[in-house]
Amino acid sequence: IAHLRSALTVFTIDGAPPIWAAATGTLGNAYSALPAGDRAANLDRAIACYQNALRVLTPDAFPNDCQIAMENLGRIFFDQASWRQALDCAKEGLRAIENTRLSGLTAEARKRIHQAGLRQTERGIAAAIRLGLDQEAIELADRSRTRNLADELWRREYRPYGVTADEWRQFEDWREKLQELEAKRLDTADAREIRAELSRVRKEIARLSVRFAEIDPDFSPLARPMDVQGMGQLAAELDAILVQIYVTFEGAFVFLVGPGNASISAQQIIHIPELSSSKLSQIASRWFQSYNWAHRRKHRAERRAELALQIWKRRAEETAQRLYEVLAAPVSSAVQAVYPNTSRLVLIPNKVLGALPLHAAWRLENGYRKSWLDDFEITYAPSAWVLSRCAIRRRANPRKPETLLAVQDPQENLSYSDFEIDGVKRWFTDHRILPGVAATVDSTVKAMSYGDEKVFSCHGSFDSRDPENSYLALSDGPLTALAIASLHMSGTKLVILSACETAITDVNDVMDEYIGLPAAFLTAGAETVIGTQWPADDLAAALLTRRFHQNMHESGMSVALALREAQQWLRDLTAGEILDFFRPTGVPATVAPASLPAEARRISPLTLKHKFESDAKPFAHPVFWAAFQCVGAP
């Protein structure tokens, strides 16, 4: 402390403002961390230091340093129960973080900033609720999700739809200039000139961003969180209740916004202390440890594979039951009290909660299991802003899909892919099928502009270390999430990913946003995506997809309702009904699929015939029907 105070006699706010601010902030850290002495007095000194440093470290001039100082200051105010000051610090810190989106930061630096943003959002929400500022709390929650999605998409180097190559090149030149300026030291003699140039470059980038957003409203750097009134209008358009779930260190805060709501009351906020960040991590860890054991170890004996699968199935049931107790039950009670006539929920979860099958949460009722999806149509959205973009696309084109693009078993190892696609294409007079080896990356990308609906009956994989490299496995290589997001798929009403791990989000990172394949297709312009959260059984996926399309085209159901009914139907389907289902198609019920992987334990008509009584329900377990989830417009 003495050395820092001495340094501040040399470096002054007038002579070397960035160095002075950095030293002042460091002095605040020292006072804040002092283990001895007058704690209250030391914290007062720390507060004074941070406030002085922030005279220089503004959100616009020094966004990264500003968010660090704001977090340190806000943490002290929060611990002191100074809720107004804590909320102000969180909001200013988040504004600074949003300004870093224009910066050329490394992936590691961005990760640190995301972590800081989540911490500041959590404190801001808790402070706002204590102040009775419920509307600010929910808007902070959606702001966090929208910011993270925008930042992830900002890093993807693709040109917005309708922007010319020359305009985009100019934009990239400004961004390169920004990175060069940010790499320079701001403690040199020309620091003032550098800061002025930084301000000018950021303004040019912002100006072009506004123009690009006017051309392509989905241009992500200008994604803006919605206020409660906007959410209420969106809920009315979708005839749904928006369920914003934000898990924090103090438990989960759930915000309900229904049709026409312009404000939010205490009845619409549920605090669930039992679902804190640490408790959620425990629930998710048990789920994914058993999941990884069952599905990620490729070379093991069949007996061990069967054991691993049984453990995961048991954990899946335990997790789903626990999710009902801590989340679905209190949310359902509140929904029924405030919106007694509702039938549709759009869940907007954060953190790893988005990777868990919330719709499969279950309870015992009169001795029988009843799942959350038996009570409501349940769909998902990355954020209210993303959901609003999906709704706008539907509003512009309200009809059901009329043309089909299907990728059919590109690696030629899915026994029921032909059966699945044959059952889908019968509903379309105009369709284009890419079968087997014809489904290359190049041919698929070229065909992406075709088809109101796109069905991918193929394998897929989620990359937990780099979600942008999650992919669909085509005949000659992977089609990555990054490549998909760069496509222009406007007019695509529905994408079905009947594959493996296509809807899992980044469970190892702190990002509270969907950044896997469903988000990639939504970014590219799709209205709704149906993905699978874990490897989908080949036969179960084929049966469910066929039933889903029958529901949509024959019964006129919405996407959300058609999926819900198909999942319930598959769950209750008997072995005898499955065998009867196959006989008219010409597929012999006595022929087993080729090359069944031991770890998948797929159920074929042959195993049905030998292992189950005709009234047994082979797909009753959630691992078969709950993998599918609807993301986007319901």
pLDDT tens-place string over residues 514-542: 557 888 888 888 999 999 888 778 889 99
pLDDT tens-place string over residues 122-168: 999 999 999 999 989 998 888 877 766 655 554 444 567 788 888 88
Nearest partner of 516 among 361, 407, 382, 316, judged by Cα:
382
The segment with the largest mean pLDDT, out of 182-196, 287-301, 304-318, is 304-318
HEC string for 546-574: HHHHHHHHCCCCCHHHHHHHHHHHHHHCC
Question: Which residues, in sequence order, are bridge partners of residue 632?
Answer: 528
Nearest partner of 68 among 1, 119, 104, judged by Cα:
119
Residues 6+ apart with CB under 8 A from 238: 344, 346, 387, 391, 633, 634
Q: How many CB atoms lie within 10 A of CB 614?
A: 13
Both structure tokens of 422: 């044959």
- Answer for the pair 361, 323: CB distance below 8 angstroms, yes or no: yes
Strands, sheet with 241-248, edge to edge from the N-terminal-most edge strand: 269-272, 251-257, 241-248, 344-348, 377-380, 628-632, 528-532, 494-497, 453-457, 403-408, 430-435
Classify burial at 37, counting beta carbons within 10 Å of its beta carbon; exposed 0-12, middle 13-18, buried 19 or more.
exposed
For residue 584, pLDDT over 70 is answered with no
Instruction: Output Rg (C-alpha) for the chain, integer angstroms.
Output: 26
For residue 382, pLDDT over 90 is answered with no
Total residues belonging to the chain: 634
- CA gap 121, 246 in Å, rounded: 10
pLDDT tens-place string over residues 102-127: 555 566 676 777 788 889 999 999 99
For position 1, what pLDDT does the model report? 79
- Per cent of the chain over pLDDT 70 is 83
The residue among 603 and 377 whose pLDDT is bigger is 377
Q: Looking at residue 263, what DSSP letter applies?
A: S
Both structure tokens of 523: 């970014």
Both structure tokens of 113: 């900033």
Return the SS3 of 251: strand
- CA gap 212, 192 in Å, rounded: 31
pTM: 0.86
**Which domains can be identified in the chain, with CATH numbers?**
57-222 (1.25.40), 228-380 (3.30.420), 398-573+619-632 (3.40.50.1460)
Please give the helix or strand (H or E) that residue 148 lies within, else none.
Answer: helix 134-154
Strands, sheet with 477-480, edge to edge from the N-terminal-most edge strand: 460-461, 471-474, 477-480
Indicate the range of 18-32, 481-495, 553-567 predicted with least confidence: 481-495
Q: Looking at residue 326, what DSSP letter applies?
A: I
- CA gap 78, 308 in Å, rounded: 45
Average pLDDT, the chain: 84
Q: How many CB atoms lie within 10 A of CB 357?
A: 25
For residue 576, pLDDT over 50 is answered with yes
What are the start-end ranges of the H helices in 155-218? 165-182, 191-215
